[in-house]
């Protein structure tokens, strides 16, 4: 059987990597060929993403893969949600994409809430009203207000455009804008009109896992490559990872683990009811036309920040060491991980001790005890969110699929099972890359959709 190879360009909000997916003998083997930092840059009045540098990293990755002997047939890009770039009439980037943490997003949300309540917007869009949503950025975008934009393209679509010259908006990423209409499966034109946004900048929404087109000839010549296709994968990184859950069920419960932990349920359509409103759940697109009902949590951030604190105090400890220490102790305490103090960096162990002291609980003293409190608190919150999702969907799930970096944290997995009473099924650590590669393989007709789970299980 001839080997078939594609490249997943997986771009996160702090770093990125390029991974070649090599399909042979019924399974996919992943090969990381390039890794790089993705640092936001403060310049003048804005916090930007350095898009030209990121596009250079993509070109570097393709050349590296070629020089390593891989024959890449397609490239697929996935990124975080919400951010975008503007293209002018000549097909040039008007300005570097502005980072979702920039102050303009909060100012835009303030403007938005002068015309709508949060509940009204959620009912209109299916999404929670949070500062960083694309809609808040667009209504306060001074570059857009100048009237030179032909197209607004979310980050993966921006890469696809500069690779192919073709304008498109992939479904899962379009839904992160809070400007998508799930019922009519297109942009929310009435809302766009009411917000007085130019409707012509919104491009045709395409299905996840389709071929956008061929890489432009001048770029192929620069890269010294004979041909290369661009696949529009399920390009929101969380949605891409859900594609790598090892089940062919139409609906299931999952936990995406990392700096943030996302508890969710894959659904056939948008879910909107009193429970969704009461429990602050949100809807985001998966692979078209599915919708993921989600709840975001601060996740392993608290553990990462605690590790930094202990390292400054002279303790050289890996995450495995921290888990080992936590498994040897016992402490009856939890913290509310949604408390604002835990969102800010610095002195995390001291904040945890202060919270326990203020709430008249046992105060953790050792490193192991503090780690255990973090893990217990996170697992408890995750279990509560699973219960909220079950109430919102009217379904009871016997098992939950866990994927991402947290699958290596055996203590967290055990605690999730204990608090929720559910069977914890471990999925791939590299779920986003697998989802990206699988979508490309299906788009290229190397695999059929009904072969996806068999190949995935053989590859894990």
- β pairing state of 169-170 and 205-206: parallel
How confident is the model at residue 1, as a pLDDT?
60
Q: Is residue 39 among the annotated active site residues?
A: no
How confident is the model at residue 377, as a pLDDT?
97
- The percent of the chain in helix, strand and coil, each rounded to the nearest 5, is 40, 25, 35
With beta carbons less than 8 A apart as the criterion, state whether 283 and 270 touch. Answer: yes
* CA 44 to centroid of chain Cα atoms: 28
Residue pLDDT, tens place only, 263-299: 999 999 999 999 999 999 999 999 999 999 999 888 7
Rounded Cα–Cα distance for residues 65 and 71 (Å): 8
How confident is the model at residue 398, as a pLDDT?
96
Structure tokens at 316: 């050289």
**Domain boundaries defined on the chain:** 4-238+432-438, 247-429
- Specify the fold of 247-429: Nucleotidyltransferase; domain 5 (3.30.420)
Q: Give the sign of the dihedral formed by CA 325, CA 327, CA 330, CA 331.
A: positive
How confident is the model at residue 300, as a pLDDT?
84
> pLDDT tens per residue, the chain (460 residues)?
679 999 999 999 889 999 999 999 999 999 999 999 999 999 999 999 999 999 999 999 999 999 999 999 999 999 999 999 999 999 999 999 999 989 999 999 999 999 999 999 999 999 999 899 999 999 999 999 898 999 999 999 999 999 999 999 999 999 999 999 999 999 999 999 999 999 999 999 999 999 999 999 999 999 999 999 999 999 999 999 999 999 988 899 999 998 789 999 999 999 999 999 999 999 999 999 999 999 988 878 899 999 999 999 999 999 999 999 999 999 999 999 988 899 888 899 999 999 999 999 999 999 999 999 999 999 999 999 999 999 999 999 999 999 998 899 999 999 999 999 999 999 999 999 999 999 999 999 999 999 999 999 999 8
Q: What is residue 188's DSSP assignment?
A: -
* CA 326 to centroid of chain Cα atoms: 29
Rounded Cα–Cα distance for residues 367 and 381 (Å): 21
The beta-strand segments (E) located in 252-398 are 252-257, 261-267, 282-285, 291-297
Rounded Cα–Cα distance for residues 21 and 447 (Å): 13
Rounded Cα–Cα distance for residues 69 and 94 (Å): 37
Residue pLDDT, tens place only, 351-405: 999 999 999 999 999 999 999 999 999 999 999 999 999 999 999 999 999 999 8
The beta-strand segments (E) located in 250-346 are 252-257, 261-267, 282-285, 291-297
Q: Which of the residues 102, 128, 237, 439 is marked catalytic?
A: 237
- β pairing state of 291-297 and 261-267: antiparallel
Q: What is residue 363's DSSP assignment?
A: P
**17: part of which helix (H) or strand (E)?**
strand 15-24
How confident is the model at residue 338, as a pLDDT?
87
Structure tokens at 222: 């620069």
Per-residue buried b or exposed e for 206-237, using 16+ beta carbons within 10 Å of the residue's own CB: bebbbbbebbbeebeeebebeebbbbbbbbbb
Q: In terms of CATH, what superfamily is 4-238+432-438?
A: ATPase, nucleotide binding domain (3.30.420.40)
How confident is the model at residue 460, as a pLDDT?
86
Rounded Cα–Cα distance for residues 134 and 397 (Å): 33
């Amino acid at each position: 059987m001839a080997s078939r190879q594609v490249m997943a360009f997986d771009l996160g909000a702090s770093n990125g990597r390029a991974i070649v997916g090599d399909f042979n003998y019924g399974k996919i083997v992943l090969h990381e060929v390039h890794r790089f930092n993705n640092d936001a840059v403060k310049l003048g009045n804005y916090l930007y993403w350095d898009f030209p540098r990121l596009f250079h990293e993509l070109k570097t990755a393709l050349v590296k893969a070629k020089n390593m002997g891989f024959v890449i047939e397609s490239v697929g890009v996935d990124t975080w949600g919400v951010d975008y770039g503007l293209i002018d009439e000549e097909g040039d980037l008007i300005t570097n994409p502005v980072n979702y943490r920039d102050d303009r997003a909060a100012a835009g949300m303030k403007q938005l809430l002068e015309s709508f309540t949060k509940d009204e917007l959620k009912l209109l869009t299916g999404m929670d009203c949070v500062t960083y949503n694309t809609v808040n950025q667009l209504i306060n975008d001074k570059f857009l207000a100048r009237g030179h934009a032909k197209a607004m393209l979310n980050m993966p679509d921006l890469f696809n455009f500069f690779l192919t010259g073709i304008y498109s908006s992939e479904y899962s990423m379009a839904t992160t804008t809070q400007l998508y209409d799930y019922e009519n499966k297109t942009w929310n034109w009435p809302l766009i009109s009411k917000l007085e946004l130019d409707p012509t900048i919104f491009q045709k929404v395409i299905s996840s896992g389709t071929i956008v087109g061929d890489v432009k000839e001048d770029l192929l010549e620069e890269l010294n490559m004979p041909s290369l296709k661009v696949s529009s994968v399920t390009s929101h990184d969380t949605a891409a990872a859900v594609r790598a859950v090892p089940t062919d069920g139409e609906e299931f419960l999952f936990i995406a683990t990392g700096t943030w932990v996302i508890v969710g349920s894959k659904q056939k359509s948008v879910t909107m009811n009193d429970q969704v409103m009461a429990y602050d759940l949100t809807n985001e697109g998966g692979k078209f036309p599915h919708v993921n009902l989600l709840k975001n949590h601060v996740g392993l951030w608290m553990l990462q920040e605690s590790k930094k604190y202990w390292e400054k105090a002279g303790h050289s400890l890996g995450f495995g060491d921290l888990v080992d220490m936590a498994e040897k102790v016992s402490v009856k305490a939890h913290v509310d991980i949604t408390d604002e103090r835990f969102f800010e960096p610095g002195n995390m162990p001291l904040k945890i001790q202060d919270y326990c002291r203020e709430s008249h609980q046992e105060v953790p003293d050792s490193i192991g005890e503090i780690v255990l409190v973090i893990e217990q608190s996170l697992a408890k919150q995750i279990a509560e969110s699973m219960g909220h999702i079950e109430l919102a969907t009217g379904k009871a799930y016997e098992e939950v699929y866990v994927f991402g970096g947290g699958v290596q944290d055996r203590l967290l997995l055990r605690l999730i099972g204990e608090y929720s009473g559910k069977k914890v099924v471990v999925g791939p650590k590299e779920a986003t890359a697998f989802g990206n590669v699988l979508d490309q393989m299906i788009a290229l007709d190397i695999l059929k959709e009904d072969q996806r789970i068999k190949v995935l299980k053989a590859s894990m």
